[in-house]
Amino acid sequence: MATLNKSVGNTLLALQSVSSNSVVISSALDVSTKFSAWITIHFGRRATTALTEGLEFRIEGSSKSSGDGHWHVLAAFKTLITAAESEAVSGTVNAGTNVITVASTTNLTRGDMVYLDNSTIANSEWGRVKSISTNTSITIEDNLVNAQTGSTIYDQGEMFNALIDLSAVTRLRLVADGSNTGQAVAVEAFINYLNSVA
């Protein structure tokens, strides 16, 4: 039976705020020795008003081993623009727990992907709502990695993913194009590789 050698959890784009009407481009990765990649992307809202236009994510491959101007779109995703609900986290919510206390659960729904916007953005995170205790708390499917006391919950969080064949690709990058979003949003992306088959 074949043995697959993989590397997982590599950061493609560190968690950050993409300011209104700006474009963020990841570093170009040398993928010339990789067979394939699985790319996962998180998107979070940082304001409640509707986006002017959705942010576009483009996974791009280069046909050149160096230089610019030869980037081609391998996969693309565009976010929704709908207005978001926000709720302040109340009380103390520790890492390792999944019950998040809030004063109001208005417009929050089981199954929602929510973004928890921490005052230190690197400590922000996403979760899917498992259940709701009306105007008391929400329970997410997985435990928090970071304490979220004093954070703000936004719904309209989104996740995207793509499995990319790298057999003929030399370099790869991710573009987060917020050229006409009209507001700051949160993004992060990771990449897993299939390195070899033995």
CA distance 114 to 108: 9
Q: Is residue 3 part of a domain?
A: no
CA distance 148 to 190: 22
Residues 15 and 73 in one domain: yes
Burial call 147-161: b when 16+ CB within 10 Å, e when fewer:
bbeebbbbbbbbebe
Q: Is residue 46 part of a domain?
A: yes
pTM here?
0.95
Residues 95 and 70 in one domain: no
Residues 150 and 176 in one domain: no
Residues 114 and 17 in one domain: no
Residues 43 and 91 in one domain: no
**pLDDT tens-place values along the chain, 198 residues long:** 889 999 999 999 999 999 999 999 999 999 999 999 999 999 999 999 999 999 999 999 999 988 888 999 999 999 999 999 999 999 999 999 999 999 999 999 999 999 999 999 999 999 999 999 999 999 999 999 999 999 999 999 999 999 999 999 999 999 999 999 999 999 999 999 999 988
Residues 119 and 146 in one domain: yes
Residues 67 and 165 in one domain: yes
Residues 170 and 111 in one domain: no
CA distance 84 to 160: 18
Residues 102 and 57 in one domain: no
Domains held by the chain: number: 2
CA distance 179 to 54: 9
Q: Would you state the pLDDT for residue 185?
A: 98
Write the CATH number for 161.
Answer: 2.60.120.680
Q: Is residue 1 part of a domain?
A: no
Q: Is residue 27 part of a domain?
A: yes
Residue 17 bridge partners (DSSP): 186
Residues 74 and 162 in one domain: yes
Residues 17 and 65 in one domain: yes
Q: Is residue 76 part of a domain?
A: yes
Residues 19 and 76 in one domain: yes
Structural domain that includes position 56:
11-81+157-197
Q: Is residue 6 part of a domain?
A: no
Alpha-carbon distance values, 64 to 51, 164, 170 (Å) = 35, 17, 7
